[in-house]
Structure 1
Amino acid sequence: MTTMKEVAQRAGVSVSTVSLVLNGRDSGRVKTEIAQRVRDTARALDYRPNPLARSLRTSRTRMLGFVSMEVATTPYAGGIILGAQEAASEAGYLLTTVNADGKVNLEQEAATLHRYGVDGFLFSTMSNRVSDIPESLASYPLVLADATDAHNRFPAIVPDEVRIGRDATQRLIDAGLTRIAYIGCTAPLVAQGLRLEGYRQALEHAGIPYRSELVCDVLYNDEALRTVGRLFDEQRPDGVFCFNDSRAWYVYECAARLGLTIGEDVSVVGVDNHPVVSETFSPQLTTVELPHYEMGYWAATKLISMLADSPAEDVRWPATTAPMPPLDAPTPAMIHCTLIERDSVRDTPMD
C-alpha cells in the first residue's frame, strides 16, 4: 500500500503538504500548482487513504447509516439504496443499511448504527410519508429521502407529486381526450391528494371542467375492479390517469370486457414505471417514473455536504432520467419526474 511518505518523496514535497492536499485542506495553504502535482502523483502511485487511520485522526468513521421504514422490503428499495450507495462510495464513505418495521424496531436499529459510530443518517419511508423523526436520529446530521419531517426540521427530497398529476393528465389532454378519469387510492397517502390536485390543475388549464363522477378511489382486488367497472359503464372515459401502474390493470380489464382497445378507444397513464407491470401489459403502459435512484443519490450527497461543510456548487451530478435539484433547494427539495412514453396513449388527437 502506498503511503503519504512515498507520495511526498515522489512529488518532492513534505509529508505535511501531502496530508493537507489529500485531506482537502490545502486551500490558501499550498500553491495551486504544487497541490495539483501532489494529486497527480497520488493518482499515479494509486494512493488510497487508510480509513481507520483517518477516523482516529478526525473522530469521523466516514460511515453513513441508511434507516428505512419498510423500504427495503419493497420493489423500489434497490433504486433508493443504489443511489445513496453510489454517492457515498464516490465520496469515500461506506453506507450501512438497516430496515425497520415499527417505532421500537426503528430505535433498536438506530442504536446499532450509533454503536458503529456513523457520522450521519439517511431516513426513508415507503411511498412519500410525513414522519415523526425519533430523537435517536434527530441528534445526528440527517437527510430524508421520499419522506418529510412532520416539523420540517431536516433536509428532504421527494417527488413533485402535483407535477406528476399535471404531466400525466396533460399527456392525455394533448392526445385530444376530454373525458379523462382519475383512479386514485383510498389509502391516506401524501401522493394521493397531490396527484389529484395536479389532475385538476391540468384540466382547468385546458378549459375542461372537473367532474367528480370521473374520479374514484380504490384499493385492490374485486371491490376495486367492480368500482372501476361502474366508472366505465356509467361514464365511458376516453382517457384515464391512474394513481399507480397497478391500478391501471383494472382499466385494461374493464376495457377488454367492453371490447375497447387500450391506446385507441381508451388511453391510460400510470405512475411508478414498475417493470413487472408497465412492460408486461399489452400495449405497454405509458407511465411517470418515480425517481428512486435520484432521491437516494441526492440525499446521500446532501448529507455528505453537511458533514464536510462543502459548498453546494461543487457537486457534479451523474446522468439520470430525472434532473436533480440543487443541494440548496428549499426543503423539501422536489424532483420533476419523467414521463415514459409507451403505447397506451394514442399518438395524435382524433379529428
Structure 2
Amino acid sequence: MVTMKQIAERTGVSVSTVSLVMNHRDEGRVKPAIAAHVRAVADELGYRVNPMASSLRTNRTHILGFISEEVATTPYAGGMILGAQSAASQYGYMLITVSTDGGMDEDEEIEALQRYGADGFLYAKMSNRVTEVPRRLNDCPLVLVDATDPDGLVPSVEPDEYRIAYDATRRLLDAGCGRIAYVGCSEGGMIAQQGRLAGYRAAIEDAGRKFNERLVVNVLNNGPALEAVSDLFDWERPDGFFCFNDARAWYVYECAARRGLTVGRDLSVVGVDNHRVFAETLSPQLTTVELPHFEMGYWAAAKLISLIEDRSLDESEWPSTTAPMPPLDAGIPAKIHCRLIEKESVVR
C-alpha cells in the first residue's frame, strides 16, 4: 500500500504538503505546480485515500445522501444519479441513494442516512417545483436538485425553463410558423410551467406578434388532454406547437393523424425531455429540448462538496457535458441552459 511518506520522498516535499494536496486542502497553501506534481506522482504510484483514516482525521465520512421523490421511478433517474455519483467519486465521496416513493417514510430515510454519518444531502424532485425542505435537513449541508425552496435560500440547480421555451418557440418562428400554440401543464406548483409559458410568450412578442391566450391550453393527461388539444386544432388551427413535454406532444401527433395531417410537413412540433420512449416511438422523430439531468446531478454534488469542505473546486476538471454547467458560485437557483435537439418534426 502506497503511503504519503513515499509520495513525499519521491517528490521532495513534506508529508504535510502531500496531505494537504491529497485531501484537497492545498488551495492557497501549496503552489499549483507542486500540487500538480504531487498528484501526478500519487497517480503513478497508485495511491488511494484510506476513507476510514481520512474520516478519523477530518471528522467526515465522505458520504453524501441522495434523497429522491418521483425520481428513482422515472426514466431520468439514471442520468441525475449518475451525474451526482460521478462528481462524488471524483472528489473522494460515496453516494448513498434513497427513494421516498411507494409509501416510504421520508423522515425515517433521512434519519437512516444521518446514522450513517452522511456529511451532506442532495434533495431531488422531478419536473422542477417549489418544495418545502424537510425539517430534519435544516441544519445540514444541503443542495436541492430540480427544485427550489419557497424562500430561495437553499442552494439549488434547475433547467433554465424560460430559455427552454424561448429557444423552442424561436425555432418554430424560424421555421415560418404563423400560429404557434403552447400545450402546457395544468398541475400546480410547477416552476417549469411558469417559466416555459413566460418564455413562449416572450418569444412570440419579441417577434413582433401579439400573444394570443386562445393558443394556450394547459392539460394533465389522457382523455381530457386529448380532447383539449383536439379542440385547439379545430378552433384555432395552429401550424406550430410547443409542448410542455414529449408526452404532451403525443396528443398533437394523434390529433394531426386523425385529420390527415403530417407532422413535419403540414405542421411543426417541438417537445421537451428527449424522453427515450417517445423519441423512439413517434414518427417523424420529435425535435425536442433535452433536460440536463446528468448536469444537474453533477453540479449539485460538486456544490454540496464545496459547502462541506468550505472551498472552491477546480472546474477545469469537470467533464464535458451536453449542456454547459454554471459556476458553483452562481445565484440561487443556478440555471442550466438546455440544448435543442433537431430531429424531423419541424417543417424544413
TM-score, normalised via structure 1 length = 0.93
2:249 paired residue number: 248
- Aligned equivalents of 1:346, 1:43: Cα separation in 2: 53
Q: 1:3 to 1:193 in 2, by over 3 A?
A: same
Contact 1:317 1:324 in 2 (8 A): no
- Aligned equivalents of 2:206, 2:30: Cα separation in 1: 58
Q: 1:210 to 1:47 in 2, by over 3 A?
A: same
1:83 paired residue number: 83
Deviations 1:6-44 (A, max 9, x none): 333444555444334423445666676665554333222
How far 1:74 sits from its partner (Å)?
A: 1.2
The Cα RMSD (Å) is 2.0
- Aligned equivalents of 1:217, 1:30: Cα separation in 2: 57
Contact 2:180 2:239 in 1 (8 A): yes
Deviates more, 1:279-288 or 1:184-193: 184-193
Deviates more, 1:92-101 or 1:207-216: 207-216
Q: 1:68 to 1:49 in 2, by over 3 A?
A: same
Matched, 1:98 2:86: no
Deviations 1:57-110 (A, max 9, x none): 110111111111221111111111110000110111101111113998111111
1:280 paired residue number: 281
- Aligned equivalents of 2:263, 2:27: Cα separation in 1: 61
Contact 2:169 2:204 in 1 (8 A): yes
Partner of 2:124, secondary structure, is: strand
How far 1:221 sits from its partner (Å)?
A: 1.4
Deviations 1:105-141 (A, max 9, x none): 1111110000000111111111111111122112111
Contact 2:291 2:338 in 1 (8 A): yes
Matched, 1:210 2:208: no
Contact 1:279 1:285 in 2 (8 A): no
- Aligned equivalents of 1:40, 1:228: Cα separation in 2: 60
Contact 1:228 1:250 in 2 (8 A): yes
Partner of 1:294, secondary structure, is: helix
Identity %: 62
TM-score, normalised via structure 2 length = 0.94
Contact 1:271 1:289 in 2 (8 A): yes
Q: 1:181 to 1:136 in 2, by over 3 A?
A: same
1:45 paired residue number: 45
1:260 paired residue number: 261
- Aligned equivalents of 1:191, 1:217: Cα separation in 2: 13
Partner of 1:71, secondary structure, is: coil
1:199 paired residue number: 200
Q: 1:61 to 1:167 in 2, by over 3 A?
A: same
Contact 1:289 1:337 in 2 (8 A): yes
2:224 paired residue number: 223
How far 1:257 sits from its partner (Å)?
A: 1.1
How far 1:167 sits from its partner (Å)?
A: 1.0
Unaligned runs of 5+ in 1: none
- Aligned equivalents of 1:274, 1:311: Cα separation in 2: 34
Q: 1:202 to 1:54 in 2, by over 3 A?
A: same
Contact 1:179 1:239 in 2 (8 A): yes
Unaligned runs of 5+ in 2: none
- Aligned equivalents of 1:125, 1:266: Cα separation in 2: 34
